[in-house]
């Protein structure tokens, strides 16, 4: 059963993805110094009205299996322990135990 943190993370990622284009356009307007100050201020107000989860910096990498927020490998979106378990079981393509 998915944990609440995983569900919250998925919801935040979806919000960021859906508002990304509009957000980038408004950021361009606010930083364009050739535009009138009134237009730039309106764009800034619209940016501020966005939901809190619409910021990409609000996204925190979490393990998809456990919801753990530390020790997460970005490429696999798994925490170190889950990565090790899945790698040993052969569930991660291209990953094998190293020997030397």
Full pLDDT tens readout for the chain, 100 residues:
568 888 888 888 999 999 999 999 999 999 999 999 999 999 999 999 988 888 888 888 899 888 898 999 999 999 999 999 999 998 999 888 888 8
What distance in Å separates the CA atoms of residue 95 and residue 100, rounded to the nearest whole number?
16
Spans of all domains in the chain? 1-60, 64-100
Question: What is the pTM for the complete model shown?
Answer: 0.70
Whose CA is closest to 78, among 39, 88, 44? 88
Helix (H) or strand (E) holding 79: strand 78-79
Domain 1-60 has CATH 1.10.287.1480: yes
Helix (H) or strand (E) holding 14: helix 4-31
What distance in Å separates the CA atoms of residue 98 and residue 73, rounded to the nearest whole number?
17
Helix (H) or strand (E) holding 37: helix 37-48
């Amino acid at each position: 059963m998915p944990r609440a943190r995983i569900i919250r993370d998925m919801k935040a990622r979806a919000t960021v993805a859906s508002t990304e284009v509009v957000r980038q356009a408004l950021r361009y307007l606010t930083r364009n110094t050739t535009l009138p100050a009134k237009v730039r201020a309106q764009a800034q107000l619209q940016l501020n009205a966005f939901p809190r989860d619409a910021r990409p910096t609000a996204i925190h990498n979490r393990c998809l299996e456990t919801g753990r927020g530390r020790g997460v490998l970005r490429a696999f979106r798994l925490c170190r322990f889950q990565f090790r378990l899945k790698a040993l079981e052969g569930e991660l393509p291209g990953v094998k135990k190293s020997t030397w």
